[in-house]
Every structure is written in structure tokens, then in C-alpha cells.
Amino acid sequence: MPAYTLRLDADTSPSEPDGITPFWWPSVPGGSFVSTLGPCLGALGPVPEPNIELVRLAALVYAADRTTPRRAARANWTQRTFELDVPVYVPARWDVLRERLEALLGFLSGDRWSIRFRRADPPQEAVRGTPYPGVRRVVLLSGGADSAIGALLSRHDLGPDRHLLLSHVGATTLAPIQRDIAACIARLIDGPSQYHQALRFSRRSHQPTGAKLRNEYSTRTRSLLFLALGLAAAAVEKVPLWIPENGFASLNVPLTADQRGALSTRTTHPLFLQTLAAIARDAGAHAAIHNPFATHTKGEMFTQAAELVGPAPAAKLLSRTHSCAHTGHRSHRIPVRTHCGVCFGCLLRRASFRAAQLEDSTDYLHARHDENLKTYLHGKSVEPALRTFLVRGLRPADITTLNLPPDYPTRQAYELCRRGIAELELLYP
């Protein structure tokens, strides 16, 4: 089985047993990652040790996931098995949580995980003073529509107080979108100057030894790293972390044949967020996570954005966000920020504009009617499967497959899903 370890030094001389792949994350330039952060997160300020440890775990999970290809395609993917060796300050506080963490990672990615924690001396790294003193909230800003609406609502609610918009830059093509959205929000809602920090963290294509790393592009664990980084930033001032995502998508109703298991992200699923927060708290980490739209559909969120800033400004802002699940447009010399229009993310986005009665000026490839793009889009499209589901309709039995937390009423989940599906039906009047 694939085995990986995280090293916090720059020494690439062989020191690991055969069969164990190391990733290097030193405090000095180089290593296996492109990052604005060292392994002590000193650029974020005085982050508590348990939150630093959580980020190290998330970084190794992400790197292992990204480096281990699945052996089959589409819905019938092979379940992988991982062994991880994670460097921490105090292994004892994580050892008692190991089985819960392994189960949580399995829920997130559909794989099997085995984790070992080892004590590692903290590397030398400069730690900034509190970089954003007085912030009342940290809001994850991915560049998608939901995160943009979350930032709008947060700035509106806080009034004279400030929040920090935190972006994770994995694909550099999204960085300009994130900056643009942050600037638009500052203009649309009156308030104090707005903090926006973009954290670069991605795995390199090659190891510092020169060895080429394999690629698996389905990485459903990348968003765990985003969450862990968000909690680390929020821990400095001990403020809540917002992860804005519509509750309908968060429940992961299997609307299409391709939206199953590891093919559908579960990072904002209420069970995942509750369990992660409980584990982090038990480890002594800051763990105040909140999804302000857990009971909303995406269309209801779009409507709320229009109520906050007006229909025309909301439509313009939301059309500038990025929701597409695919980044392979480069082969057709089309910018990555262009939307395909036929993946599930795009279909839900299009339906939400209609549900909120907002003008959608997004550039969709499917609307170009280009013969050269037909084959490409056919391979990306989930429209046939979605149409089949809409004809079948939502059944009460579907709700039993959602892994709801004990305190989440099934009737509430059913009604939320019913409203979300009604919005998707607007695509096919």
C-alpha cells in the first residue's frame, strides 16, 4: 500500500525505509511544495500548536491523495489504502483520536487511511506578530459563487468590524478571480478596509531530488487543507471560521451516476464539519467552524445576494465567480476560468441564476455551439444522468443515504433537497 511521511527539514539524503515516500516541507525555500508558509505557519502569526499539527496532517493527506492514482475511471473508482506518518509536537494528543480521524478521512475521500503520529522537533522559523489584529471572523473565499455570497453577508453583518477573507491558491489561474471578487465585495458593501490573504500551497510536479511525482486530479482532500488553514488563521484571534456553501450541495444527494463516493466532495457535509470540529477540539485546537448557508439552496443564496446589494450588482458579481469543475480547457486554447456549462457545478449555477431571476453573463462553452467542442463537452456533461434523475424524482429513501448527523432532522433534509431539485428543474422547462 502507498506509504508517505512528511519531513520538516531540507535534507533529501535517503533516510526512509524502502516503500515510504517522503514529502519535504522545510522552513527554507525548496521542498515538495510551492508555499507561502513554513511548517510552523509563522506567516499567519502565533498559531496554536494543535492547529499547526492539524495543517501538517492535512498537507500530508493532500499530497498523498494527489500522488496516488486511482486505477479506474468515473463512478467505479478503486478504493485506495494509505499509510501516513505525521510529524507533530505532542503525539499523545492525536494518538487517542487516530481511529476517528481515519474514519473521517475515509468518509471524505472514499479510501482507507492509517495514520501514525511521531514527535518532531520544531524547525527554526520566524513567527509574525498578529497580522490582522481585531478581526471578528475569517471567511474562506475560494472564488466560487457561494463563498462570494458568504463574504458579502459577513461584511454586511459585521458593519464597522472587519473580517479576513482567506483564499487558498492551488491553481494560480484562480488567484485573479479571488482578488477580483474580494475587491468587488469591498466596493459593494460599505465598511472598513477589508483584509484579504491568499495562501499559496500546492504540491510540486517533482521532488527536490528530481524525481517526478504522479498526478491524481480527483483530490477531494484538498479542501480539508483549506479548512485547516482557515482554522489556523482564525485561531490567532480565536474567531469563528465561515465556510460558505449551499446546504443542498453539501448533503451530496447522488443526482447523477458520476456524483457518488469520492467523485463528490463532502467537505461541507454537516457530518464531516461536525466530526472535524469535535476531533480538533478534543486535540486542543481552535475549531469554531460555521456554514451560514447550511439550510439554503444555491438559488436562495443568489436571492439573498440580490437583497443585499441589488439584482444588477449581484448578477454582475456572481457572473464573475468560478464554479466549473473542469480545468482541461487549455487543450482547446480556452482560458481555464471559462465555464463548461455541463458539469454538475455549472448546471447548479445556471439553475440558481434562473431561480433568483438574475441575469447570467457567465461565458459557458456549451452555449457556443462549436462543433470542435462537442466531443470535449460530451465527456464532461452530466446532463443526461441529471435529466434521468429529475424524471425519477426525489424519494424519501434517498435521504437515508445521506449520512446525516443525529441532530439533523430527516424532514428538514428532504425539504432542502426538494427545493434544490426544483431549482434544477428550471433548466428543463
Strand residues in 49-96 grouped as ranges (E): 81-88
pLDDT given at position 170: 67
Q: Does domain 137-290 have CATH number 1.20.59.10?
A: no
pLDDT given at position 71: 74
CA–CA dist 244, 151 (Å, integer): 8
Query: For residue 394, what are the CA distances in angstroms to 29, 263, 382, 391, 414?
Result: 52, 20, 17, 9, 9
Strand order in the sheet with 195-203: 33-35, 195-203, 163-169, 137-140, 241-242, 289-290
Percent of the chain scored above 70 by pLDDT? 94
Residue 308 contacts residue 317 (beta carbons within 8 Å): no
- 292 burial (CB, 10 Å; 0-12 / 13-18 / 19+) is buried
Tens of pLDDT, residue by residue over 324-368, are: 887 655 555 677 678 999 989 999 999 999 999 999 999 998 888
pLDDT given at position 361: 97
Locate the domains of the chain by residue range.
Answer: 3-119, 137-290, 323-427
Whole-number CA gyration radius for the chain: 21
Q: Which residue has the cell 531530488?
A: 209
Counting as low any pLDDT under 70, the low residues of the chain are 72-77, 170-172, 256-265, 327-333, 336
3-state helix/strand/coil string of 152-178: HHHHHHHCCCCEEEEEEECCHHHHHHH
CA–CA dist 113, 106 (Å, integer): 7
- 341 burial (CB, 10 Å; 0-12 / 13-18 / 19+) is buried
pTM: 0.94
pLDDT given at position 222: 87
pLDDT given at position 169: 80
Q: Alpha helices of 266-382 — where are they, by DSSP H?
A: 270-282, 298-309, 311-319, 344-355, 374-380
pLDDT given at position 74: 47
